[in-house]
Amino acid sequence: MTAVVALAAVTLAAVALAACGSAGSSGVPASAPTASVPPSTQALAAVTQAVARTQALTSSVDLSFSRPSSNVTSTTPRGASGTVDFRSPAGAIRIDLPGRYGGIEKMVFLPGSVFIEPPPSNLPLQAGKPWIFANFADIAKYKVNFPPYIVQTESINPAFTLSELAWGSTAAAHAGPSTFHGQQVDEYSVTVDVNRALSHATGPAGDVFAHALSSEITATDGGGSTAPVTLAVEVWVDSSGRLVGVRVTPPGAGIGTLTLALGKFGASVHTDTPPRAKVVDIAAMIPGGEQEALNGGDTDGA
């Protein structure tokens, strides 16, 4: 890897992942829901229906992050917020980063790609180009040069979180009535089979999400086990049967435990992308790489 490519890799990891720390952070494997009550088909149906109902909507989102170890607190984002269109899927997120190089980082998620504007305290990769673009749809390019960064970035994407639930939920237990962000909800403890989610990945972002799921499996068991990788996920559903909260620890993402809160259903979602002249394509940092997906056309004009 050349120095330029190494710089691009470090930048994408540190910037796109909101300086969340080590990518080796494991998830929370589970063979059954964590609730004291047994799982039921009714609970699983309630969760899957809530996820499906929410995936047909737009909403505002708030993300919070937590880690069990105090020595990484300074690298954990203070929080994030934005809006998501789960139908596309696409969204715009603003992340509040701590520390010397902290500030507000902007992320625009599109199917298979992401635009990132680091905080002003970070020097751009190229002068006059504050935005970074990563075309994750070109899997071969990033599989070789940026192995963990798809799962790191997509784990912050609420559309990925819901897709993993939709594709991989295999058991659920109704933990009972609860309160989430000030509203009365039903709480569920859900088992998500990541291998099953991988085999069911589909849709406009299916290929990229599948790559992120594969990385979760590898981060948990090294990719050599035949046993399915499962995650324990907490889910909250409102009285209208919509998903309003998710808590999960994505394996390999390095973000610790993510709590996702959804609200303002039907919210307008603006995913305007920056002018091409303001963007550095990470693909351009790869020897022989071309900017096929950045507003069309190649860097070499061919």
Residue 253, domain CATH: 2.50.20
Q: What Å distances lie between residue 264 and 56, 157, 244, 260, CA to CA?
A: 14, 18, 10, 14
Residue 285 lies inside a defined structural domain of this protein:
no
Q: How many domains does the chain have?
A: 1
Residue 132 lies inside a defined structural domain of this protein:
no
Residue 128 lies inside a defined structural domain of this protein:
no
pTM of the prediction?
0.83
Determine the Cα–Cα distance for residues 160 and 213; give it in Å rounded to an integer: 9
Specify the pLDDT at position 179: 97
Residue 273 lies inside a defined structural domain of this protein:
yes
Domain housing 192: 21-87+148-277
Averages of pLDDT over each 10 residues, the chain, 302 residues: 38 43 40 66 98 98 82 69 97 91 92 92 86 79 65 92 98 97 97 97 94 91 76 98 97 90 98 95 66 42 35
Specify the pLDDT at position 136: 81
Residue 37 lies inside a defined structural domain of this protein:
yes
Give which of 176, 190, 248 is closest to 48, Cα–Cα.
190
The CA-CA-CA angle for residues 130, 131, 136, to 5°, reads 155
Residue 92 lies inside a defined structural domain of this protein:
no
Residue 143 lies inside a defined structural domain of this protein:
no
Residue 282 lies inside a defined structural domain of this protein:
no
